[in-house]
Chain A
Amino acid sequence: MDQSEIDALLAGGSKSVSQSVADPIPPAESQEPHRDPSGHVIAELDTVTAVTERESNKVMDQLDQICRLVTRQQELITGMMAHAGSQDPGVQQAIHEVASAGKEIQDKVFEAMDLMQFQDITRQKLERILNHLRQIHDYIVDLLGTGTKSEGKRASISNTIAQTGTTPDENKAHADAVIEAFKSKNKG
């Protein structure tokens, strides 16, 4: 979800987001948008996070499927190499090339799977926005003495998500430096 979609949601115009999925998760307990706009937005954002997780898992299913197909192809190739009719050096060379192309495909699929980490990170950034909205919502309910406070036990919120654009290598270097300092401090 990009910023314009988040803006659209916050403005109450979530149709384009929910229509873009095949079988949208039904929105949480619908609330009157005009009487309780913040409650409505909270419910919508909860739905968006649930839908993106479900859709991400569909992408993961497809990637798993590609991996399985490539593994099957590699097995067939191995069988082919042992075949009496494929002992010609030119044929063996061609089979090797097909096998290594299959390996490259598998590596790229694994890379794509690793990139799906964005789903959890984006979800947690949305959770943080949701948390702020809930606080504002509950404050307004208290202030007006009417309406329903946001409910349910939520996940703890990450207030220190690495900045967007921080690379995995930068994350690792940072964490390793802190661990190293902690360990040497506790040794001495």
Chain B
Amino acid sequence: MKILIVDDSSTMRRIIINTLSRIGYTDVVEGENGKSGLERLGQGGVEMIITDWNMPEMDGLEFVKVVRGQNPGIPILMVTTNAAKEDIVEALQAGVNNYVVKPFTPDTLKEKIESLLG
């Protein structure tokens, strides 16, 4: 199971990678914004996406819309500081399957990932 993690914070990418490895997912590719996320996705093999919202170049919402245009089925989890109800609804409308507000616990991330894959 190859998972793509897109976040402009390298610290946050490491935290997510650590949590994933603790629950058995070690095949991970990274992007630092939506643009590089699309490049990684284009290289093939990605089966799930975890993306941030606020990033330079291409933000997570735009990234999700582009991905959904190409791939309606891939599970997408948004992990972001954006906490308002309107933000969550906007992301769901754009096509994310689930949503996590930072800061999160590893249990939350685990639960969301398992519900997307289950």
Residues of A within 8 A of B (CB): 53, 56-57, 60, 110, 113-114, 116-121, 123-124, 127, 153-162, 166, 168-169, 171-172, 174-175, 178-179, 182
Contact = CB atoms under 8 A, between A and B. Distances in A.
A172 B104 contact: yes
28 contacts: A53-B11, A114-B103, A114-B105, A118-B103, A120-B11, A120-B12, A120-B81, A121-B81, A121-B102, A155-B8, A155-B56, A156-B54, A156-B55, A158-B53, A158-B54, A159-B82, A160-B83, A162-B83, A162-B102, A168-B105, A171-B104, A175-B88, A175-B99, A175-B100, A175-B101, A178-B89, A179-B88, A179-B99
A179 B83 CA distance: 12
A110 B89 contact: no
B10 interface: yes
Contacts of B102: 117, 120-121, 162, 171
Contacts of A114: 15, 19, 103, 105-106
Nearest to B93: A182
Contact of A161 (B15, B82, B98, B99): B82
Dominant SS among interface residues on chain B = mixed
Contact of A117 (B53, B82, B104): B104
Using C-beta atoms within 8 Å of the partner chain, give the interface range for chain B.
35 or more
Given A114-B103, A175-B88, A175-B101, 6 more contacts: A110-B106, A114-B15, A124-B54, A127-B54, A156-B59, A178-B88
B26 interface: no
Nearest to B18: A113
A120 B5 CA distance: 15
A172 B100 contact: yes
A158 B82 CA distance: 6
Helix, strand, loop or mixed for chain A's interface? Answer: helix
B5 to A, nearest CB: 13
A63 B104 CA distance: 19
Contacts of A116: 11, 14-15
A182 B96 CA distance: 12
A3 to B, nearest CB: 19
A10 B106 CA distance: 36
A174 B101 contact: yes
Contacts of B83: 160-162, 166, 171, 174-175
Nearest to A172: B108
Nearest to A185: B89
B48 to A, nearest CB: 17
